[in-house]
């Protein structure tokens, strides 16, 4: 009986030590982006341009870059909410989530896919532009300088 209790105690101790010393995997930005790509639809810059040219009011272009990036150039008529303020400001931009599709872009696609995942989790219909503003500019699609219609600024 004492031998069983001793073996059981030893087994519990070994399991505890193994659990406590197990290597903890830290998620990287690439991990988060891969997770987001699994649940958010990405569109090419060409598809984004077709949507832009259609002028269909159900689509809202949303730039999630920082102010200095946006001032240097953005998609005309796009709205701007920096990624860090997205959760606080999106409701002031999109009132009816069923009728609108938010086309999210950033510089190259990383921030926009993460922002799109957040918006999707909040209940919005979203698309993320693969390649972002860099791809848009490289295609020589229309751009505008200065800040667009903004909802950037302090937290709610």
Q: Which amino acids are annotated catalytic?
A: 106
Which tokens in the block code for residue 10? 């030893």
> Is 25 within 8 Å of 67 (Cβ atoms)?
no
64 class by beta-carbon count within 10 Å (0-12 exposed, 13-18 middle, 19+ buried): buried
Nearest alpha-carbon partner for 73 in 106, 111, 43, 103: 106
Number of H helices, E strands in the chain: 7, 6
> Is 81 within 8 Å of 90 (Cβ atoms)?
yes
Secondary structure of residue 3 in the 3-state scheme:
helix
Q: How far is CA 151 from its chain centroid?
A: 17
Residue with tokens 């659990």: 19
């Amino acid at each position: 009986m004492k031998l069983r209790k001793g073996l059981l105690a030893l087994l519990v101790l070994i399991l505890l030590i193994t659990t406590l010393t197990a290597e903890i995997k830290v998620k990287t930005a690439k991990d988060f982006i891969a997770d987001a790509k699994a649940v958010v639809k990405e569109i090419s810059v060409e598809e984004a341009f077709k949507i832009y040219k259609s002028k269909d009011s159900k689509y809202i272009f949303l730039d999630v870059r920082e102010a200095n990036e946006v001032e240097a150039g953005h998609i005309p008529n796009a709205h701007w909410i920096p990624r860090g303020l997205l959760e606080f400001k999106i409701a002031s931009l999109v009132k009816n989530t069923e009728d609108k599709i938010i086309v999210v872009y950033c510089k190259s696609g990383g921030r926009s896919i993460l922002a799109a995942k957040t918006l999707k989790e909040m209940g919005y219909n979203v698309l993320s532009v693969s390649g972002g503003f860099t791809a848009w500019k490289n295609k020589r699609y229309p751009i505008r300088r200065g800040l667009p219609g903004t909802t950037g600024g302090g937290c709610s």
